[in-house]
Amino acid sequence: MKEITTIKEVKQWLKPYLKKNLRIGFVPTMGALHEGHLRLVRQSTAENNITVCSVFVNPIQFNNQEDLSKYPRNLSQDANLLRKSGCDMMFCPGLEEMYPGGRIDNVELEFGLLDKIMEGKFRPGHFRGVVIVVNKLFNIISPTNAYFGKKDYQQLMVINRMKEALGLAVNIIACETVRENDGLAMSSRNLRLTIGERQVARKIFEVLYKVREKGTKTPVWELREWAIKKIQEDSRFRVEYFEIADRETLMPIESWGQKTQAIALAAVYLGDVRLIDNVELFS
């Protein structure tokens, strides 16, 4: 596997593949790779001629300095895992390479409420940072297919809208959330949980699945209140939001009505670690 840190070298390395019109699969990450990322890499290697994975902790998508400084980083382990998963090139640029002179070339896109609710509300500026970096990475790599996990469901919807707004040719491939044996959604942030917190963290997944089971038999508001109360029975948990929303627009649903495509999404603090998860609901 080739390891590259500069944009110029990435473009040079990709040139022969692009010339031959080969399929380039791309997995953008912020490193601290786990099985969730590696599944995306393996799916990409199965569906493309070449797979590129970027590892870049993007500072402009963090609205909280402490969260940024505590974000786990382990580049040599990431490189080993990517090599074993069949990745062909790891792009791991420094800050200066991505934002020369600290300049952030902004693309002003309007997403309506999509990037202002839930994650957008509690992490102001987060999606602006994601859109800037992902658009820049797409420009550098020119992928045929780009792979995103459904764990960050709102991010996936924002990226889909960015693709539409900018008329990008890349196919956005949505991949299922990968879970630990007890159901906890895999996340780099799980590494920051204490042993005690890790033992109870499955509660978020359990409540989400219970919500799916209860489904349309229970009014939406009642289900939401029940879920928040259930998670917070243990005082180590603090629910930031728990929403039941339309799966496409992510607008909160007030009543079941004709809606057949819904999703329950949650952001929950466990101690000082913020975890997000979601499950798709069927009615």
Active site residues: 37
* Binder among 44, 48, 51, 58 for ligand PAF (CB under 6 A): 58
Binding mask 18-37 for ligand PAF (x = CB under 6 A): ----------xxx-------
CA proximity to 59, closest of 136, 121, 109, 126: 126
- Residue 133 in the binding site for ligand PAF (CB under 6 A): yes
Size of the site for ligand PAF (CB under 6 A): 10
What is the rounded distance in angstroms from the CA atom of residue 16 to the CA atom of residue 26?
Answer: 17
Toward ligand PAF, which CB reaches closer, 134 or 184? Answer: 134
Nearest approach in angstroms of CB 134 to ligand PAF is 5
Toward ligand PAF, which CB reaches closer, 14 or 134? Answer: 134
Nearest approach in angstroms of CB 56 to ligand PAF is 7
CA angle 171, 133, 150 (to 5 degrees): 50
* Binder among 152, 197, 243, 277 for ligand PAF (CB under 6 A): 152
In three-state form (DSSP H/G/I as H, E/B as E, the rest C), the secondary structure along the chain is CEEECCHHHHHHHHHHHHHCCCCEEEEEECCCCCHHHHHHHHHHHHHCCEEEEEECCCHHHCCCHHHHHHCCCCHHHHHHHHHHCCCCEEECCCHHHHCHHHCCCCCCCCCCCCCCCCHHHHCCCHHHHHHHHHHHHHHHHCCCEEEEEHHHHHHHHHHHHHHHHHCCCCEEEEECCCECCCCCECCHHHHHCCHHHHHHCCHHHHHHHHHHHHHHHCCHHHHHHHHHHHHCCCCCEEEEEEEEEECCCCCECCCCCCCCEEEEEEEEEECCEEEEEEEEEEC
- Residue 48 in the binding site for ligand PAF (CB under 6 A): no
- Residue 268 in the binding site for ligand PAF (CB under 6 A): no
Nearest approach in angstroms of CB 29 to ligand PAF is 5
Toward ligand PAF, which CB reaches closer, 184 or 220? Answer: 184
- Residue 134 in the binding site for ligand PAF (CB under 6 A): yes
- Residue 130 in the binding site for ligand PAF (CB under 6 A): yes
User: Taking contact as CB under 6 A, which single stretch among the options 7-15, 87-95, 116-124, 130-138 is the one that binds ligand PAF?
Assistant: 130-138
Q: Are 204 and 277 a contacting pair, CB within 8 Å? A: yes
- Residue 53 in the binding site for ligand PAF (CB under 6 A): no
Toward ligand PAF, which CB reaches closer, 139 or 260? Answer: 139
Toward ligand PAF, which CB reaches closer, 129 or 271? Answer: 129
Toward ligand PAF, which CB reaches closer, 29 or 85? Answer: 29
Binding site for ligand PAF (CB under 6 A): 28-30, 58, 61, 130, 133-134, 152, 155
